[in-house]
């Protein structure tokens, strides 16, 4: 995606949304909060996919560990893994 009237390419979701919302009236604090949630979702989803690929056999897991492997959540929701306030181990 190219920034309007420029040669620069957008490198992140945050840059894209900043460009899109530049032409509308959106409170910057709300946009910043939403961007933070999206970035956390991307980060935590990446970590979850990595952890999922380094899995043990399911028979070696407790119920809680097995249930935690169900990581898809609600992927149609833009911030389905944001969980602001929770940290990766």
Q: Which residue has the tokens 């833009």?
A: 78
pLDDT, tens digit, for every residue of 40-89? 888 877 887 787 777 666 667 787 877 766 666 555 555 555 566 666 66
Q: In the numeric block, which tokens belong to residue 29?
A: 């604090």
pLDDT of residue 85: 61
For 18-34, the DSSP string reads: HHHHTTS---HHHHHHH
Residue 2: pLDDT above 60? Answer: no
Task: Tell me how crowded residue 55 is: count the other CB atoms within 10 A of its CB.
Answer: 11
Residues 6+ apart with CB under 8 A from 48: 71, 81
pTM above 0.85, yes or no: no
């Amino acid at each position: 995606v190219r920034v309007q009237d420029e040669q620069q390419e957008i490198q992140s979701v945050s840059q894209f949304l900043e460009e899109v919302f530049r032409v509308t009236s959106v409170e910057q604090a709300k946009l910043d909060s939403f961007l933070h949630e999206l970035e956390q979702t991307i980060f935590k989803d990446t970590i979850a996919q990595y952890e999922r690929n380094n899995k043990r056999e399911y028979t070696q897991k407790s119920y809680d560990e097995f249930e935690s492997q169900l990581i898809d959540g609600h992927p149609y929701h833009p911030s389905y893994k944001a969980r602001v306030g929770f940290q990766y181990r």
